[in-house]
Structure 1
Amino acid sequence: MKIYEKAPAKINLLLDVLRKREDGFHEVEMIMTMVDLADRLEMQELPRDTIIISSQAGYIPLDEKNLAFQAARLIKDRYDVRKGVYIHLDKKIPVAAGLAGGSSDAAAALRGLNRLWELNIPEEELCTLGAELGSDVPFCVTGGTAIATGRGERLEPIESPPQCWVVLAKPPINVSTADVYGKFRVAGIGQHPSAADMVSAIQRGSFADVCGGLGNVLESVTLDLYPEVRQLKESMIRLGADGVLMSGSGPTVFGLVSKEGKLPRIYNGLRGFCKEVYVVRMLT
């Protein structure tokens, strides 16, 4: 039997950092949602007790450095599964892009192996497992739209934002989340974005207010470290996207667009200096 799972990318409509915690992580408040750019995982049981991962992408690790591999090993160890699995990862989400591609792969592996091995693990327990692999994994397990607090693992589902087009553009650089957080200083934040205002805008279905409420306090660090990201954001605004923000720690910048007629100009304008440009829909 083969099991298939979709692993969508996420974007941060809002990312606020409240303080540095004693455990070394940062206390955050985020509003995350998913877009229709996705990796796909195919999982098949193996007769011998091993984990094998393959992919068409030549630039990702296929060993214990891979989060899907780590997810498979975690679920095998925790539930004493003495079977093996072959996972093929069809990679579409850019890596080190602030889109949680690796976290979504791990979440898809947890969901898929739960079905493949008929473990009947409740979703809440899968989220707890996912938190051991990374802060974004619990959200990727559940999907939808949610407020994330703590280090990102505490989730409160909310309504989906108004449907729109999303233009994603990743410059040809990789950004280390650890480096960005390492240079970030909470005291340097001028004004914190308002999660309450964003939730209200979503509840009212106001696309304009969702665009107006976008905020990411990590932008200032990444934009200073990587001028290409600043250029990309400025270009997307100039080309007419309705709301523009860097996702996560970057370097991907996304633009929310309400009118399909705007898309060719934005897409073609960005492709002039950025190869990785995607036009997708918000997942609702």
Structure 2
Amino acid sequence: MLIFPNAKINLGLQITEKLSNGYHAINSCLYPIPLNDALEFVPAKKKTAFNSSGSSIPSDGKDNLVLRAYKLLKKDFQLPELNIHLHKNIPIGAGLGGGSSDAAFMLKALSDYYQLFLDDSFLESYAAQLGSDCPFFIQNKPALASGTGTELEPCNINLSGYHLVLIHPGLHISTKEAYAGTNPKEPEHQLKEILEKADISTWRETLVNDFEESIFKKQPILAEIKAELYNHGAIYAAMSGSGSSLFGIYKEQPPIINAFSEKFFYRTMSL
């Protein structure tokens, strides 16, 4: 079976509280975008094996989320041994949810292919055991995430007809490092109100990613990329998640930013 897990971007990311367990409470809108990995599995004659191509993944794949998703379902259901191949096109550690998407799509595909008949709520409960972004990719529709990121509600937003420029400069920013530089606070503007009621032209002033302030100080190239997205006509630009990908949303087909298109991972797409 061949499937194509897609990436996501964060439209706003508010860090509202540090919890007693050390995690943080957030508000964010997760929005799916048409940038895809390719994931295939077929029955194996021997033991389950995992391999990958494209962007290199950490270690030897033993802890890859796709394999963990398979093993998680295999504990509760009779699944055969598989040969699994993942072609990575979504940049790794970029704030785009690529690994989480791969895992969630694996859960959905196994349920469909082997007729496990798991509904979305069951799949989301499995996905939550794999990572905070994973449950979003079960329904794979715009959603407001709150709590530690796993509490989801639909977000009535549609960016169809807009264009996206996505740039990943290849920097790795650990989640721990990203949170260390933030100061949780009550947001000045409610995310749901901004996204569902305000015009997109107002987002530049109101839709904020709280990670940007501290991370941009440490990695000024990210601030430079964001500024150039605006200079080249973006109506909204931001970092996705804790980085280091940045994106710009455009009304018209965007121009190529030559300073970055030849040096970094650079994609344009229609939403």
- Report the TM-score when normalising by structure 2: 0.92
Fraction of identical pairs, as percent = 29
Match 1:65 to one of 51, 56, 63: 63
Q: Give me the whole-angstrom Cα distance separating, in 2, the residues matched to 1:37 and 1:82.
A: 29
Change (3 A) 1:160 1:43: farther
CA distance in 2, matches of 1:110, 1:264: 38
* DSSP-derived class of the 1:93 partner: coil
Partner of 1:194: 190
2:2 aligned to which of 1, 4, 9: 4
Alignment of 1:1-284 (within 5 A): 3-48=1-46, 50-57=47-54, 59-61=56-58, 62-77=60-75, 79-163=76-160, 164-186=162-184, 192-201=188-197, 206-210=199-203, 212-260=205-253, 263-265=254-256, 267-271=257-261, 274-282=263-271
Q: Which amino acid aligns with 2:193?
A: D
In 2 relative to 1, CA 100–269 (structure 1 residues): closer, same or farther, beyond 3 Å?
A: same
Q: Distance in 2 between matches of 1:118 and 1:36?
A: 27
Structure 1 contact 51–73 (Cα < 8 Å) conserved: no
Matches of 2:188 and 2:68 in 1, distance apart? Answer: 35
For structure 1, the 5+ residue unaligned runs are none
Q: Contact 1:44 / 1:86 at 8 angstroms: preserved in 2?
A: yes
The alpha carbon displacement at 1:82 in A equals 4.8
Structure 2 residue runs of 5 or longer lacking an equivalent are none
Distance in 1 between residues matched to 2:269 and 2:210, nearest whole Å: 25
Q: Which runs of 4+ in 1 moved over 3 A?
A: 209-213
Instruction: Determine if contact 2:29/2:155 at 8 Å carries over to the other structure.
Output: no
Structure 1 CA distance for aligned equivalents of residues 202 and 154 of structure 2: 20
Q: Name the Cα RMSD after superposition.
A: 2.0
Name the SS for the 1:105 alignment partner: helix
Give me the whole-angstrom Cα distance separating, in 2, the residues matched to 1:213 and 1:126: 34
Change beyond 3 A, Cα 1:166–1:108: same
1:81-111 Cα offsets, whole Å, 9 max, x none, are 3521222112110111010111111111111
Contact 2:104-2:137 within 8 A present in 1 as well:
yes
SS of equivalent residue, structure 2 residue 129: helix
Greater per-residue helix proportion: 1
1:211 to partner: Cα distance: 5.2
Give 3-state SS (helix, strand or coil) of 1:56's partner.
Answer: strand
**Aligned 8 A contact 2:232 2:255 in 1:** no
1:251 partner amino acid: S
For the residues of structure 1 that align with 2:250 and 2:32, how far apart are their CA atoms?
15
The one-letter code sitting in structure 2 at the alignment partner of 1:179 is E
SS of 2:159 mapped into structure 1: coil
Offset of 1:116 from its aligned partner? Answer: 2.4
Q: Distance in 2 between matches of 1:268 and 1:136?
A: 32
In 2, the alpha carbon distance for the partners of 1:6 and 1:209 equals 33
Separation in 2, partners of 1:201, 1:269: 35
Give the partner amino acid of 1:196.
K
Paired letter, 2:25: E
The 3-state SS of whatever aligns with 1:41 is strand
CA displacement 1:50-101 (0-9 Å, x = unmatched): 4322222251144232111111111111x14352122211211011101011
CA, structure 1 residues 53+84, in 2 after alignment: closer, same or farther (shift >3 Å)? same
